[in-house]
Amino acid sequence: MRCSEMSKMLTAKEIAPGAMITEPGSAMKFETGDWRSFRPVLDREKYIDCLTCWIFCPDDSIIAKDGKMEGFRLSHCKGCGICARNCPKNAIRMEPEGV
Amino acid sequence: MDIGINGDSAVALAWKQVDPDVCAAYPITPQTIIVERFSDFVADGEVETEFVTAESEHSAMSICIGAASAGARTVTATASAGVTYMWETLGIAAGMRVPITMAVANRALSAPINIHCDHSDVMSARDLGWILIFAENVQEAYDNAIMAMKIAEHPDVRLPVMHNLDGFILSHAIERMSTLETHTVKNFVGEYKSKHSLLDIEHPITHGAMDQQDYYFEHKYQLAEAMQGAIKVIEDVFEEFGSISGRKYDLLEPYRCDDAEYVSIVIGSTAGTIKEAVDQLREEGHKVGSIKVRVYRPFPTEMMSKLLEGKKAAAVLDRHMAIGSTGPMFGDVCATAIDLEKPPELVNYIYGLGGRDVPVSDLKKVYMDMIEGNCKKVNYLGVRI
């Protein structure tokens, strides 16, 4: 958390006491993508839509539509690399962020 | 009705009259009688409480936190090593803002192992976000058990409360005490309705979530605010309790302080003994008084400051040693006194550790030391040096 972002956040008066989360499913709003130091990149020459990456992703960061792999949901992808490691075609590589 | 009863049984009686939803506990001297008596009431069908016999204090408090999060009015009791075994969960109870009330029959911490009274259990836990209330006698042990629930559950507070009674001196000694009618007690505490129950499936919520660097500090700040807000709530609850019982309590209770030049500040049963010392010294012509600290957290800074105004000296009596520093209450009182234009000379007395007897003669000596200017900054009352 960068200090410059603190001012945009809720104050002690605005948040629920006891760190209670009163809204179900609100983890959707908590974007964990900025934790990432490596980003997954898809090689469109190699991929075969097997969706192994979708099965293995511990978050919900593989965009799958009508049985097709359409890319990564980077707002929540933490860059763990599990998709790349398990891809049977080596169609996903991890590239350093911010380089 | 007046009865003869010991402090532990008085707490159990208060719980019986309230009939709380859940009690999870593990026995430990000198608290054991509380949960023993209360489990009798459960077994005999006199209450509808779900009584959970835990395998340790850590589990007992964890069960209490779960039950309270589910919206149950939850009670437990412990002492000494039980408090320290609960350590991790004590902070969790406060941080999660669950209004558990816990009776603590104050007992020394090991080592050396010792089952007798001092305040090292509760005082070691003083920074964790629990409201701390102390009893001078059995009557107060009973009254505090009832009032604690109303304070803890107040929507402006929502903090757990430890209501303390001196081990053996109050927990086991039988005193005369006046009970309230059960319906009066029930009306006073009212029905507890949690605003955020885990069992409310219409409004699913998460208790005990994680905070990163982003929100942890804000949630801790909320605790500080809730503690400050609790002062007014505690005063109101004491006031209301006075109207049903005729017993009027306050955060601090001065005794013969108005014209006193030398005062002592003391917690628990010694606050009773010291009144005798004050009376005897008054007869001998000394202008002395005492201040009983009934509520230690939140510390009633403003009221303490007013009571200390114009005094020549004040002795703070701590039944706990914050090893490596002064007694804990001495620090609180010093921080209060800096608000005064002419603060009294402040001295600290560590006393009564491990149940060491505190006779009137020793307490008179504290005053005479002050009057004659014989005090060090930190003094150890009655220890053989």
Residue pLDDT, tens place only, B67-99 = 999 999 999 999 999 999 999 999 999 999 999
- The fraction of chain B above a pLDDT of 90, given in percent, is 98
Interface check B201 vs A, CB under 8 A: no
Instruction: State the Cα–Cα distance between residues B64 and B100, nearest whole angstrom.
Output: 7
| Integer Cα distance of B190 and B18 in angstroms | 9
For domain B2-245, the question of CATH label 3.40.50.970 is answered with: yes
The number of CA neighbours under 13 Å toward the Cβ of B189 is 28
Percent of chain B with pLDDT strictly greater than 70: 100
% of chain A residues with pLDDT over 70: 92
pLDDT at A1 over 80: no
Spatial contact of B77 and B25, defined as CB atoms under 8 Å apart: yes
Beta strands, E only, chain A: 38-42, 62-65, 68-72, 92-96
What is the token pair recorded at B104? 């603590």
Window A:3-42, CB contacts with B under 8 Å: 6, 9-12, 15-22, 24
The ranges assigned to domains in chain A are 31-99
User: What confidence category does residue A28 fall into, taking pLDDT thresholds of 50, 70 and 90?
Assistant: confident
Kindly report the CA angle at A45 between A43 and A47, in degrees rounded to 5? 65
Residue A29: per-residue pLDDT: 85
Which residues of B fall within a CB distance of 8 Å from A32?
none
Check residue B319 and give its pLDDT.
98
Q: What is the CATH number of domain B252-380?
A: 3.40.50.920
Query: Does B274 score more than 90 pLDDT?
Result: yes
b/e code A54-77 from CB counts within 10 Å (16+ = b):
beebeeebbebeeeebeebebebb
- CB nearest to A9's CB, from B98, B203, B214: B214
CA–CA dist B292, B164 (Å, integer):
14
The candidate with the shortest Cα–Cα distance to B290, out of B305, B268, B275, is: B275
pLDDT at B384: 96
Of the candidates A32, A14, A5, the residue with the CA atom closest to the CA atom of residue B218 = A14
How many C-beta atoms surround the C-beta of residue B239 within 10 A?
12
Residue A30: pLDDT band (50, 70, 90) is confident
pLDDT in tens, A9-19: 899 999 999 99
Domain residue ranges of chain B, discontinuous segments joined by +:
2-245, 252-380
List C-alpha distances in Å: A96 to A37, B141, B334. 6, 64, 56
Chain A residues near residue B207 by CB distance under 8 angstroms: 18, 20
Integer Rg of chain A from CA: 17
H-state helical runs in chain B: 7-18, 32-43, 57-69, 80-85, 87-95, 120-124, 138-153, 182-189, 216-245, 270-283, 301-308, 328-337, 360-372
> Taking all residues of chain B, what is their mean pLDDT, rounded to a whole number?
97
**What's the rounded Cα separation, in Å, for the pair A46 and A44?**
6
Whether residues A17 and B97 touch (CB distance < 8 A) is answered with yes
**Domain A31-99: which CATH class?**
alpha beta
Q: Do domains B2-245 and B252-380 have the same CATH topology?
A: yes
- C-beta separation of A32 from A59 below 8 A: yes
Please identify which residue in the block is written with the tokens 């706990």: B320
Residues of chain B contacting A24 with CB distance shorter than 8 Å = 204-205
Assembly ipTM:
0.86
- Nearest-angstrom CA–CA distance, B248 and B105: 23
Across the range B202-225, mean pLDDT stands at 94
Cβ contacts of A10 on chain B, cutoff 8 Å: 215, 218
